[in-house]
């Protein structure tokens, strides 16, 4: 048969052991933060009926999806581009049968048929957090808090990343005060969402097209680009927008809740954050590296009407998604990934070495016994019986102990070498499990 | 917008928290057995270029695949139906650059566009184990041994499941001795593979069609259906097949290696095991529930030519795949899954209760502090301040401790209740982390 040179599809990744160890490090932080906050993990199918996505987003979304049909089948499917429709479908399927609140997390793989670029691949992992059945600033801050806990466990600080928060009701009132007619509010939000991608002249042109007076455009621009610590007073913002301070009451509530949860220093107010998706109804937020060099690390907010849209009960809801691609870029930018990812691989408890002769026949039996006792055990597959060379392999594997089987096995004894201290002693081969077991955590 | 009633695609699953906990239990056993045996975890893309599968299996496989093309794109892709082509591609991509042996495991999601039935879904998880670069019975038994360790950790014993082993060279010699012409050997193996799906008359008819004499058909049938402990002598089998005992030498070697590894009682010889896939070259095996009621739990063997086929170096290889669907059926049949999967969910370290009034404002701050310290903390979201009712919620959540914040918070004190013993004592709120931290394993 002809030889082929096969490659991974464009925008997908092969994870060799050290690559996967890096990814697991992020997933472990996601999972442990989720569990510590009392979220339960769920998972759904990798692909869904295509209509699950077109029902909400219209047929326009099809070009961004990997969609397909089984040969001879009648249904159109699509690889999931986001998890929220699956989540809403799962909640709807249980109708009112779930205890409230529903606090779920998931770490699904996602797919987008877009052009791959920095921070954006066609296949990626995404952490999803959702609280359903509750509303209020304290819940929104709990959702933001679990994201922060994971980032903190990965070594990030408020100096590295900030949660940029806003609120749909605040945005709507500011736009109204600036003179945006209510029928153009959606267009104005789209413009806000794109403000960083447009130059000043283009932004002005589009703002004028919304029907704003020239002076209002200036204020609109100022408000759209203003960002300040959530801890600060909103007086300046209110003044710039020409609104009463009272308009910011939802952000005041977020501030109080963030203060109580001890995460106020992680939060920035940025009225220009609207999130592209039409389904957000209250708080909206994005997490960004402070320099703004990368895409958003995470995005989310409150979406009170969504579960109902998928046939479920009326349920308030708040959540976010955080992808692995931008996050790993940020961690790398900040020097928070180990230079040699091999240190993230599991450490062997013991590395068994045969000094040759009869000793060889004891290796599989001892290895098997130790593994069945829950120890991570490696052995050499090399033909050499040069103990020095094999000890160097044991060190390279980062084993805690080497067990050397030599002529003394005739008396049932083997050498146990602590590879950290270099200390070596004789033990009965039957003691090998207990001699190495102490490295395990208590049961 | 209209309401829809959406469902998961046929043959896929929604995993609610307890469903996922069951699946994770299997994955944890797979992962821990892999690590203890010194395997490193890898992962690849969920979909591959379609040619990766057609190159090996021909275009006939396309009807069993979910294949697709990006709108406007030029490449055909397919959701992976098995992991081995991805593995071979990843090894080939590193050419000779990987240290030998390569010992990798993966727990990928797989897809098959077949009709769903018991034990077979369209989307499923599959544990893959592969050793590349080494040959010999000891390696084959190491591969089988890691499968057994995982099954043992899930509560299965040799009385529940058996590894049915055979060897391609043994099968080939037995077929030759029976009088199957070498050019019909492949057909004969296919017939062997289907023997359990055919009635006796049909089997006979097809065996005759291979060119066997009537007496040889009887012997073929007998050999095909014979199964005996690997520990037993092969004399009877050799006699039935009309071959010298010497023909079984590869199985003798497997027996010795299984004995050394302490897993001989898990192994049955079944010459009729050939595995459908054409790429196996030596040892082949399947793991079955002893009653034969379910499909194979796992299947694998030696496939020495495969990496080369995908453009890589010449490398001997041995591995297996074990799916989650049949395994969970077997565990369920054997009563090895908890009746209430909720016991598999992570236990909260603490459940914080507010007795009302000022106490409420302390809850988010304390919860946040404890979570940042690595504790799993839940709180009540109910309006009630009925401590008895809330304690019952804490018990239902299986929390180890309840922390009750009442009027004594004015003195900085809270009640700590051990929910197992019922014992309750007063602690300073600042001691909450240390008071609950003892439940964590030592670092």
Nearest C-alpha of chain A: how many angstroms from B180?
Answer: 26
Q: Which two tokens stand for residue B320?
A: 């297996």
Could you tell me if A317 and A302 are in contact, meaning their C-beta atoms sit under 8 angstroms apart? Answer: yes
Query: Is there a contact between B68 and A73 if contact means CB atoms under 8 Å apart?
Result: no
Tens-binned pLDDT, residue by residue, of chain A (443 aa) = 334 568 999 999 999 999 999 999 999 999 999 999 999 999 999 999 999 999 877 777 888 899 998 878 889 999 999 999 999 999 999 977 898 899 999 999 999 998 999 999 999 999 999 999 999 999 999 999 999 999 999 999 999 999 999 999 999 999 999 888 888 888 888 888 888 888 888 988 888 888 888 888 888 888 888 899 999 999 999 998 889 999 999 999 999 999 999 999 999 999 989 887 678 999 999 999 999 889 999 999 999 988 888 888 889 999 999 999 999 999 999 999 999 989 999 999 999 999 988 889 999 999 999 999 999 999 999 888 899 999 999 999 999 999 999 999 999 999 999 999 999 999 999 999 999 986 444 33
Asked if residues A170 and A54 have their Cβ atoms less than 8 Å apart, the reply is no
The residues that bridge with B263 in the sheet, in sequence order, are: none
Structure tokens at A206: 């589009």
> Which residue, A63, A191, A205, A65, is CA-closest to A122?
A65
Contacts 24+ apart (CB under 8 A), B246-254: B247/B170, B247/B173, B247/B174, B247/B177, B248/B170, B250/B137, B250/B167, B250/B169, B250/B170, B250/B282, B250/B283, B251/B165, B251/B166, B251/B167, B251/B170, B253/B136, B253/B137, B254/B137, B254/B140, B254/B141, B254/B165, B254/B167, B254/B230, B254/B283
CB contact under 8 A, A371 and B44: no
The pTM assigned to this predicted structure is: 0.95
Q: Which residue of A has its CA nearest to B4?
A: A311
Chain B contact probe: residue of A371, A436, A443 with most B CBs at under 10 A = A371
Chain A nearest CA to B272, separation (Å): 28
Q: Do B42 and A17 touch (CB under 8 A)?
A: yes
How many CA atoms does the CB half-sphere of A153 hold within 13 Å? 21
Position B397 confidence tier, pLDDT thresholds 50, 70, 90: very high
Contact residues on chain A for B309, CB-CB shorter than 8 A:
1, 3
Residue of B nearest to A373 (CA): B36
Q: Hey, what long-range contacts does A433-437 have (CB within 8 A, 24 or more apart)?
A: A433/A369, A433/A370, A433/A373, A433/A375, A435/A401, A436/A349, A436/A350, A436/A370, A436/A375, A436/A400, A436/A401, A436/A403, A437/A349, A437/A373, A437/A374, A437/A375
| CA of residue A404 relative to chain centroid, distance | 43
Measured between beta carbons, the chain A residues lying within 8 angstroms of B33 are 371
The predicted-structure confidence for B262-273, as pLDDT tens digits, reads as follows 999 999 999 989
Which of A13, A45, A71 is closest, CB to CB, to B123? A45
How wide is the angle at C-alpha B434 spanned by C-alphas B432 and B437, nearest 5°?
Answer: 105
- In Å, how far is B218's CA from the nearest CA of chain A? 37
Closest C-alpha among A276, A80, A67 to residue A191: A276
Q: Rounded to a whole number, what is the largest CA-CA distance in chain A? A: 96
Confidence (pLDDT) at A442: 36
Alpha-carbon gap, residue A102 to B71, rounded angstroms? 37
Cα torsion through A151, A152, A153, A156, rounded to 10: 80
Distance, in Å, from the CA atom of A401 to the CA atom of B133, rounded to the nearest integer, reads 26
Distance CA B441, CA B349 (A): 12
Nearest-Cα distance to chain A for B35, in Å, is 6
For residue A45, is it left (φ>0), alpha (ψ between -120 and 50) or beta? beta
pLDDT > 70? residue B84: yes
The proportion of chain B whose per-residue pLDDT surpasses 70, expressed as a percent, equals 97
**Token pair in block for residue A246:** 């009272």
Chain B neighbors of A14, CB-CB under 8 A:
42, 44-45, 86, 89-90, 93
Whether residue B47 and residue A9 make contact (CB cut-off 8 A), yes or no, is yes
Residues of A in contact with B371 (CB under 8 A): 33, 36-37, 145, 149
Find the CB nearest A89 among B6, B20, B345.
B6
Percent pLDDT > 90 in chain B is: 71
CA distance A140 to A283: 7
DSSP H or E segment with residue A324: helix A324-333
Query: Using the beta-carbon criterion (under 8 Å), do B38 and A62 form an inter-chain contact?
Result: no
Interface touch B9/A101, C-beta < 8 Å:
no
> CA B380 from chain center: how many Å?
37
**A169 CA: distance to closest CA in chain B (Å):** 22
Q: Do A66 and B77 touch (CB under 8 A)?
A: yes
Residue recorded with tokens 């030592």: B442
**If pLDDT is split at 50, 70 and 90, which confidence band does B39 have?**
very high
Residue A304: count of CB within 10 angstroms of its CB: 17
According to the model, what pLDDT value does residue B277 have?
65
Residue B43 DSSP one-character state: B
Which chain B residues are closer than 8 Å to A92 by Cβ?
5-6
- Judged by CB atoms closer than 8 Å, whether chains meet at B20 and A41 is answered as yes
Give B316 to chain A, closest Cα distance, Å.
14
Please tell me the distance in Å from A325's CA to the nearest CA on chain B: 14
User: For strand B109-111 and strand A40-41, is the pairing parallel, antiparallel, or unpaired?
Assistant: unpaired
Residue B90 has pLDDT above 70, yes or no: yes
Is B364's CB within 8 Å of A261's CB?
Answer: yes
**pLDDT tens digits, one per residue of B287-315:** 999 998 899 999 999 999 888 888 888 89
Tell me whether residues A369 and B79 touch, CB distance under 8 A.
no
The answer to whether the Cβ–Cβ distance between A372 and B149 falls below 8 Å is yes
* Contact (CB<8Å) A134/B381: yes
| Nearest-CB residue to B368 (from A261, A311, A381) | A261
Place of tokens 């404890």: B370
Domains and CATH numbers, chain A: 13-160+290-345 (3.30.930.10), 346-437 (3.40.50.800)
How far apart are the C-alpha atoms of B34 and B135, rounded to whole Å? 19
- Long-range contacts for A207-216 (Cβ within 8 Å, ≥24 apart)? A210/A180, A210/A181, A210/A184, A211/A179, A211/A180, A211/A181, A211/A184, A212/A178, A212/A179, A212/A180, A213/A179, A216/A178, A216/A179
Distance from CA of A438 to the nearest CA of B (A): 11
Determine the distance in angstroms separating the CA of A34 from the nearest CA of chain B, rounded to an integer: 9
Q: Which of A24, A36, A44 sits opposite B15 (nearest CB)?
A: A44
Q: Do B35 and A364 touch (CB under 8 A)?
A: no
pLDDT band at B438 (very low <50, low <70, confident <90, very high): low
Report yes or no: A349 and A377 within 8 Å, Cβ to Cβ: yes
Whether B440 shows a pLDDT value over 50: the answer reads: no
Count of CB contacts below 8 A, A vs B? 261
3-state secondary structure at position B366: helix
Residues of chain A positioned with their CB less than 8 A from the CB of B367: 261
Cβ within 8 Å, pair B348-A38: yes
A381 to B37: CB separation less than 8 angstroms, yes or no: no
Do the Cβ atoms of B90 and A14 come within 8 Å? yes
Among B3, B44, B441, select the one facing A15 at the smallest CB separation. B44
- What is the average pLDDT value for chain B, to the nearest integer? 92
Cis amide bond preceding B328, omega within 30? no
C-beta atoms of A8 and B441 within 8 A: no
User: pLDDT tens for residues A58-115?
Assistant: 777 888 899 998 878 889 999 999 999 999 999 999 977 898 899 999 999 999 998 9
Per the listing, tokens 């980062």 go with A398
Tell me the longest C-alpha to C-alpha distance in chain B: 96
Q: What is the 3-state secondary structure (H, E, C) of A28-83?
A: HHHHHHHHHCCCEECECCCEEEHHHHHHHHCHHHHHHCCEEECCCCCCEEEECCCC
CA distance A144 to A268: 12
């Amino acid at each position: 048969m002809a030889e082929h040179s096969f490659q991974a599809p464009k925008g997908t990744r092969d994870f060799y052991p050290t690559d996967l160890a890096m990814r697991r490090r992020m997933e472990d932080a996601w999972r442990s933060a989720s569990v510590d906050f009392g979220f339960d993990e769920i998972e759904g199918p990798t692909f869904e009926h295509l209509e699950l996505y077109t029902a909400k987003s219209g047929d326009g979304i099809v070009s961004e999806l990997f969609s397909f049909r089984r040969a001879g089948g009648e249904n159109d499917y699509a690889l999931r581009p986001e998890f929220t429709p699956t989540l809403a479908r799962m909640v709807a399927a249980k109708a009112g049968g779930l205890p409230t609140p529903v606090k779920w997390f998931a770490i699904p793989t996602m797919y987008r048929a877009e052009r791959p670029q920095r921070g954006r691949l066609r296949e990626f992992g995404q952490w999803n957090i959702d609280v359903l059945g509750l509303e209020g600033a304290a819940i929104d801050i709990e959702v933001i808090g679990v994201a922060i806990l994971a980032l903190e466990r990965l070594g990030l600080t408020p100096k590295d990343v900030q949660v940029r928060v806003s609120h749909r009701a605040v945005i709507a009132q500011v736009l109204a005060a600036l003179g945006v007619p209510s029928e153009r509010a959606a267009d104005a939000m789209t413009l806000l969402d794109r403000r960083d991608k447009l130059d000043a002249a283009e932004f002005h042109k589009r703002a004028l097209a919304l029907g704003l007076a020239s002076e209002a455009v200036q204020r609109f621009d100022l408000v759209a680009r203003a960002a300040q610590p959530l801890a600060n007073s909103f007086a300046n913002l209110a003044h710039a927008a020409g609104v009463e301070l009272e308009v910011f009451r939802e952000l005041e509530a977020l501030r109080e809740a963030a203060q109580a949860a001890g995460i106020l220093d992680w939060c920035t107010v940025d009225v220009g954050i609207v999130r592209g998706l039409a389904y957000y109804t209250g708080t909206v937020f994005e997490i960004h590296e402070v320099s703004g060099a990368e895409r958003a690390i995470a995005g989310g907010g409150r979406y009170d009407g969504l579960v109902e849209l998928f046939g479920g009960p009326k349920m308030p809801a708040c959540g976010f998604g955080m992808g692995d691609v931008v996050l790993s870029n940020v961690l790398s930018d900040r020097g928070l990934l180990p230079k040699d990812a091999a240190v993230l691989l599991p450490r062997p408890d013991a590395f068994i070495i045969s000094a040759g002769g009869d000793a060889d026949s004891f290796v599989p039996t001892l290895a098997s016994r130790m593994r069945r006792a829950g120890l991570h055990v490696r052995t050499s597959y090399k033909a050499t019986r040069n103990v020095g060379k094999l000890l160097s392999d044991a060190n390279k594997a980062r084993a805690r102990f080497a067990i050397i089987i030599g002529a003394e096995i005739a008396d049932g004894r083997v050498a146990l070498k602590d590879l950290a201290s270099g200390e070596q002693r004789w033990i009965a081969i039957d003691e090998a499990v207990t001699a190495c077991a102490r490295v395990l955590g208590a049961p």
